[in-house]
Structure 1
């Protein structure tokens, strides 16, 4: 009898351990699935926001062309010579999140400081991803004024403004305010594209995690 009771206890212990492992595996699978749904929702939201930004940008560009004249705002005014890119995208591998995925950061107007800032903002946005997160406005300020507390001068912002004015100088000295607004709209849309690339990278990596868990079960 004692041997039979001992065997029953061992079997119950094994069953309990298996149930615990199954519950833990299901919990991890559910967590990956929720992350995938969150990243998919974020990706679709960002795509919708990008569409709104582009529509607004084209509308403002059309308004500028109407006020300045078609001869001044046309592709014939663009400088088609080879020159260095004012804005570029830097790609690296994100290993801090525990999931291998590509991380994209925007370098605006050739500033390496903007790359570091872009990485920080992208990482913060990825960590605070929520299913019901909605942006209150599709447009955000392209540059933020530095506060006196952090000691950062406004030189960077002034340089960006000079670069923006320089890029619009091909259309003449005096340009329509609508043209400047259109420039900001397309610049913001470019930032949104990088956010979309990061959201898609997160979505694909979490999808792979879900598939791996399903294959293990």
Structure 2
């Protein structure tokens, strides 16, 4: 019994060492893969950023420097997207996500557009109401209710499309803007999304480094006991 007990302890110690070494190898491969993706993402981010500035310069050249300047900015400008911090169970670190901002929903330009649309609808309301009454007299009750639901859904979709158009910063510089300005905007939007992913990647790399350090210390303790 006295001879088998040390042997069993050494065997258990060896199994723990093997398990820790295997986990360290897995973490090393995972870290190197994440680091490679991180480096590649930075290259893509730099490319989009450079192309965005090139397209912006071309738009200034074609439209004129006085058209695209700070004097064309809307002083009521508000953020279109916000960064939200979420805690997920599968991630031991907070995850950043981009969400559409609610700060620009009450923009005065939207109110003006909605007001003009409401006036147009009010001027056409009597004839439309008479047509609906005629249809209701000629059609069953279920069909008339279905028509009302479709009209409400179409109105909601049209209102949302007007809000999206009015919130587009390209409208500050006119309705017929240069295509280069539109592509520049797309590049900068892509960069914003990429930067948020890069921050999450940094948190992931930090977490992998912490796990590797903990396992390495456990390995050193087991080697001391051996």
Report the TM range for the smaller structure's normalisation: 0.5 to 0.7
Tell me the TM-score normalised to structure 1 length. 0.68
Q: Distance in 2 between matches of 1:54 and 1:206?
A: 29
Alignment match of 1:79 (pick from 56, 74, 99)? 74
Give the corresponding residue for 1:185: 187
1:182 positional shift: 0.6
Cα distance change on mapping 1:12 and 1:187 into 2, 3 Å: same
Q: Which has the larger radius of gyration?
A: 2
1:160 positional shift: 9.8
Q: Distance in 1 between matches of 2:163 and 2:50?
A: 24
Give the corresponding residue for 1:61: 56
2:27 maps to 1:32? yes
2:12 maps to 1:9? no
- SS of 1:94's partner is coil
Give the corresponding residue for 2:99: 107
- SS of 1:52's partner is helix
Write out per-residue CA displacement over residues 188-215 of structure 1, whole angstroms, 9 at most, x where no aligned residue.
Answer: 1111111111111101111111112222
Alignment of 1:49-198 (within 5 A): 49-81=44-76, 83-97=77-91, 100-108=92-100, 110=102, 159=161, 162-163=164-165, 166-198=168-200
- SS of 2:94's partner is strand
Gaps of 5+ in 1: 1-5, 112-154
Give the corresponding residue for 1:115: none
1:39–1:200: 8 Å Cα contact kept in structure 2? no
Q: Distance in 2 between matches of 1:201 and 1:209?
A: 12
Cα distance change on mapping 1:53 and 1:40 into 2, 3 Å: same
Q: How many residues align?
A: 165
Cα distance change on mapping 1:107 and 1:50 into 2, 3 Å: same
Gaps of 5+ in 2: 104-156, 221-226
What RMSD, in angstroms, separates the aligned Cα atoms of the two structures?
A: 2.5
Give the corresponding residue for 2:149: none
Q: Distance in 2 between matches of 1:80 and 1:165?
A: 13
Cα distance change on mapping 1:12 and 1:159 into 2, 3 Å: farther
Moved over 6 A (4+): none
Cα distance change on mapping 1:9 and 1:37 into 2, 3 Å: same
Tell me the TM-score normalised to structure 2 length. 0.65
Q: Distance in 1 between matches of 2:166 and 2:57?
A: 19
Cα distance change on mapping 1:46 and 1:70 into 2, 3 Å: same
More helix by proportion, 1 or 2? 2
- SS of 1:175's partner is coil
Greater shift, 56-65 or 164-173, is seen at: 164-173
